[in-house]
Amino acid sequence: MGIHLFVLHHGLWGDHSHMNFIISRIEEGAKTSGESVEFINCAVNEGTNSYAGIEGCGSRLVELIFERLKDADKPAISHLSFVGYSFGGLVIRYAAGVLFARNILVSESTSPQTSSDAPTVIAANFVTFASPHLGAPRTSPESATLNPIFNSLASFMTSTTGSQMMLTDASYRGRKAVNVLADPSLPFYQSLLLFKNRVIYANLQNDPLVSHRTASILETEPSPLTKPLINYLSPVSESYPSIVELDPSTLPSVDTLPKSEEEVRTLREKVVTTLFSLCSFQLHWWLSQVVDCIGTVFAVHVRSSFRRAHATIVRRADEFKGNEDVVQHFIDLYCFKST
């Protein structure tokens, strides 16, 4: 068997060190499984380079992957897994689409070709942590008057990426970037079908940057009155106290987007409709509680302070002992199950 290549991408303003913790856990898992692994921990889109947008950042990442696959002096790659954190989740969706369009990604039922001229690799895992799949515009009813100002400033200050995340872009023949990624007729969507494991981890609360709604690809969000009920959800197992099982169909009372945001609602519904038809996507929920105490979750029960959930889920998990189980959940249940 060849090398299992893991391609990792950090979030907006981030750097490759934010993915070091998950790499260390994958390396530990590889030692146990006996699998040979290699990593591309993207470092070409760090800091302000991440302002280049989904296509700009994704193209740079694809070049790194091509360079490795065509390197005849190194062992052949047989399997490929993508891991994206925050904005990196959209970047890897773009990269997967390009690899699919160039006939490089294949399903596990197909034997990979090791030729450096026309290599193919088996699509193993595709996982995102707290990624804004539906964009990240501020739509809170409590700050309705400030929402347009915030979204405009965010679009301006973070260039192309900001406009795409605030859903103010129209660079793809008048279409939003997140909508293009979710188009079933395009390779960005079609490539996802090849991966044996497609997993989403989403913060259920305390993530002001990437809300539960956009990270989970669900048009639902716990309301302030029902959030205390989250604390009574049972963890999926004692081994993963931060992961709780939650049935979206029985999610209690939810907040919906304000009526004044009808255009955003319509766009999100279109994205949800297309992406959610990938019904084998496995939805996991990651919850960070307000207080430093053990909680629950398939969503979560972790140790981090209010509004720290976004950073804690991956890049700072090792700094908050007891929170590492979110990453470990992926390692144990999916990481090496497809090779």
Domain range for 232: 3-335
| DSSP state letters, 44-84 | SS-GGGGGGHHHHHHHHHHHHHHHHHT-TTSPPEEEEEEEE
Q: What is the mean predicted confidence (pLDDT) over 315-330? A: 72
243-244 and 282-286: which strand pairing?
antiparallel
- From 134, 104, 125, 93, select the one nearest 272 (Cα to Cα): 134
Total domains in the fold of the chain: 1
pLDDT at 89 over 70: yes
pLDDT at 301 over 60: no
Helix (H, G, I), strand (E, B) or coil at 278: coil
- Cβ atoms of 58 and 94 within 8 Å: the answer is yes
pLDDT tens digits along 172-217: 788 899 989 988 889 999 999 899 888 888 887 777 788 877 887 7
pLDDT at 32 over 50: yes
Counting Cβ atoms within 10 Å, is residue 13 exposed (0-12), middle (13-18) or buried (19+)?
middle
Percent of the chain whose pLDDT exceeds 90: 39
Domain CATH for 236: 3.40.50
Work out the number of other CB atoms within 10 angstroms of the CB of residue 173.
6
Q: What residues have CB less than 8 Å from 174, skipping those under 6 apart?
A: none
Q: What is the pLDDT of residue 259?
A: 46
Distance CA 217, CA 229 (A): 21
- Cβ atoms of 272 and 256 within 8 Å: the answer is no
Q: What is the pLDDT of residue 116?
A: 58
